[in-house]
Chain A
Amino acid sequence: MTNSAFIAIAAAIAIAVSTIAPAIAQGLTAKSAMESIARQPDAAKDIRSTLIIALALMEALTIYGLLIAFMLISKI
């Protein structure tokens, strides 16, 4: 295989892995947030803002993967 083929595969792995892991984490977070809203609808407002922050921090990991993938692609 040539060098650019390796780079392409590396970019694909970077974005794939960095999507899978945060997706699982975000699913778990959303699940427990929804459960607690169902149990305690009064606290929905607080839970929602905390949920968005938590999701945003996890989203950042995916974005780092995306940026690395773009960096790799530009090296081909």
Chain B
Amino acid sequence: MGEPSKVIISLGGILDVTGEVIAMWILLAVITVICLAVKLKLREKPGRFQNMIETGVEYLDNFFEGLLGEKSRQYFTFLGSLFIFIIFANYSGLIPGVGMTDYVKAPTASLSVTAGLGVLTFIFLQGAGLKCGIKHYFTRFVKPIFIMLPLLVLDEIIKPASLALRLFGNVFGEEMVTHQLYEIFPIGVPVVMMVLSLLFCALQAMVYTMLVSIYLDEATETE
């Protein structure tokens, strides 16, 4: 979908470094620096910065607890990281200059990245299902009636695929609309779409993790 990304550093055709990969390296560095800055200065009486981060983490914790109940803490590391990565990746597209060059591009505006997230989610969901017992995992596929088996197996594959396509489509569509507005009138007009993007980017990250936790709730359901 779309044009293939331009290769910046060639590594023999298999693990080529593209603009998205460079953007993800920068994001990785930024997130790591923020985490270290909080971790190394952890105090009993939080300062302004620590307070801000604590509020964010608390909000995420409450968000997942509302969806998953007491199971949320067990899976919080994965779901929280997913949320933080997606929201940072979405917002990176709003930084001026990102996406205009081949060297730095918003990662989630590429189908390869979101498909990777989809595969990760698929493995996570299957793993979480298997962890609740092998018998429980397999009875889920023949639960109401045996004929449903192919549909339910297909459903497991379609879920992450639709997650990946939804995230890609939303972010890519936004980037395209902003770009088209820029082509029409470069001064001032794209700001309108970028303000809307501020809302949509956060919403997409929320929707992705929300749907993953609902699928997770289905997969680990015990009676």
Contacts and interface: CB of A to CB of B under 8 A. Distances in A.
Interface of A: 45, 49, 52-53, 56, 59-60, 63-64, 66-67, 70-71, 74
Nearest to A55: B207
A8 to B, nearest CB: 16
| A-B complex: 7 closest residue pairs judged by Cβ atoms | A63-B169, A56-B207, A60-B166, A67-B169, A66-B173, A63-B166, A66-B169
A60 B67 contact: no
Category for how many chain B residues contact A: 20 to 34
Contacts of B211: 53, 56
A64 B169 contact: yes
B214 interface: yes
Interface of B: 1-3, 66-67, 162, 165-166, 168-170, 172-173, 176, 203, 206-207, 210-211, 214
A60 B210 contact: no
Contacts of B1: 67, 70-71
23 contacts: A45-B66, A49-B66, A49-B67, A52-B203, A52-B206, A52-B207, A52-B210, A53-B207, A56-B166, A56-B210, A59-B166, A59-B170, A60-B162, A60-B166, A63-B165, A63-B169, A64-B169, A67-B1, A67-B168, A67-B169, A70-B2, A74-B2, A74-B3
